[in-house]
Amino acid sequence: MITVSVKWQKELFKDVEIDTSQPPYVFKVQLFDLTGVPPERQKIMVKGGLLKDDADWERLGVKEGQKLMMMGTADEIVKTPEKGTVFVEDLPEEEQVAAVGHTAGLFNLGNTCYMNSTLQCLHSVPELKSALIDYSHSGRNNDVDQSSHMLTVATRDLFSELDKSVKPVAPMQFWMVLRKKYPQFGQLHNGVFMQQDAEECWTQILYTLSQSLRSPGSSENTDAVKALFGVELKSRIYCQESNEESSETESVYSLKCHISQEVNHLHEGLKHGLKSELEKASAALGRSAVYLKESRINALPRYLTVQFVRFFWKRESNQKAKILRKVDYPLELDVYDLCSDDLKKKLEAPRQFLRDEEGKKLGLKVNEKSSVRKESDVKMSDAEGSSNGGGEPSVAPMEEGEKEPQMTGVYDLVAVLTHKGRSADSGHYVGWVKQENGKWIEFDDDNPKPKIQDDITRLSGGGDWHMAYIIMYKARVVSL
């Protein structure tokens, strides 16, 4: 132990002890207490230059009573807060939600994780919550049956309760109404409610809401659920044997990712899912024949849902068996090459605008000719009308006189529903949801936990760990 003096600005600190058995960083911490200068800002002159945090005192040759010179600026003095410290638990519940950064979990009422995970994913869609709030003002119309009306109200009330609470919520009323509307979710085995398929729950809830949230006496264009989740498919159906050909258009709430030995990535599985074979009567042949159905996306939703077809019926065990194969999926999905030619033309101008905006962020110069051509294309696209685009612009704010946000065909991952186990009717379901602040939360029933982005990309399968069963993407839109 040696004693030195330290000169800093106009002050001289005498009898400062140095414990030479400790690294110089400890000495810097002592000086921080004396001067308020953080160790990383301290420049202390010693033999050979500046004092380093891990230097050897013996080699430096600092002697008893030596005078050291220090340079550096101190931190500002922290003022006493005008208000006392307020703990999160002392805040009103709605403010607690904002402070915590996520909403409440849901209690498992007995094998209801399939329902909880579905609700947490759907609850993350602000436009759906807005439509449900509007439903409370419009009320039930005559086209909606009582059980559908009750399930819609229960969904609205549960979402509202989740938004206001940080403590776990018991979805008892919703579960009772769900079982009344769809009795299969109330099946018992040895007096215990059975585990159910989350995809069936997701589909039935959306179907019910699509009926309830449609404006009374109007066309399907005012169907809020269809506008948010509906994918319009245009299909070509032809028979190679008879050369018969026809076309059809249908609306679905999700795309299917078919899994086979050739599928390693979501995009490959989606391409497989848009092709199928069906057997039907052929007028030309006078008998049944095999037809090939090839589909293309003709209108895009605000939220694109994809189901991984992981379960199939196994006759030997008389249950739904699970395909464990790993299928990677991206955080950013571009579905342009899965679209019809008509839709591709509508997407060209918005996609060019998106590329230009992202290029500007990277400091790249935008081709002026490209921009002029883009503007003329936009007018044509606007005249033809856009697909089911909606919601707030994510690239540039709308100005007065601008058109509604346009779809680009590019989507960002916002929710993943996973399954852990070997059968759809057993195991455990969990929802993984991206919050408005960009952070991911794992909603494992009543126990929400923060996660990092890498945790989400690890849910692609290949073992007995949680693997993606349903994923949801949010459209990246631009305002032109």
Catalytic residue numbers, as ranges = 113, 428
Cα 279 from Cα 249, distance rounded (Å)? 18
- Name the β-bridge partners of 305: 472
Local structure of 262: helix, strand or coil = coil
Angle, CA of 291, 296 and 298, to the nearest 5°: 130
Backbone dihedral region of 224: left (phi > 0), alpha (psi from -120 to 50 degrees) or beta? alpha
Question: Can you read off the two tokens belonging to residue 393?
Answer: 């612009």
Dihedral over Cα of 302, 330, 445, 208: its sign: positive
Amino acid symbol at 148: S
Amino acid symbol at 55: A
Torsion (CA) 272, 274, 280, 283 in degrees, nearest 10: -120
Cα 14 from Cα 32, distance rounded (Å)? 15
* Short-list 335, 334, 473, 329, CA closest to 412: 473
Question: Can you read off the two tokens belonging to residue 365?
Answer: 């110069």
Contact 315, 256 (CB under 8 A): no
Q: What is the DSSP string of 150-184?
A: HHHHHHHHHHHHHHH-SS-B--HHHHHHHHHH-GG
- At a CB cut-off of 8 Å and minimum separation 6, what does 291 contact? 237, 238, 239, 244, 277, 278, 279, 280
Question: Can you read off the two tokens belonging to residue 111?
Answer: 């094998």
- Name the β-bridge partners of 246: 237
Cα 114 from Cα 108, distance rounded (Å)? 9
Cα 186 from Cα 199, distance rounded (Å)? 16
Question: Can you read off the two tokens belonging to residue 203?
Answer: 């589909």
Question: Which helix (H) or strand (E) covers residue 418, if one does?
Answer: strand 406-420
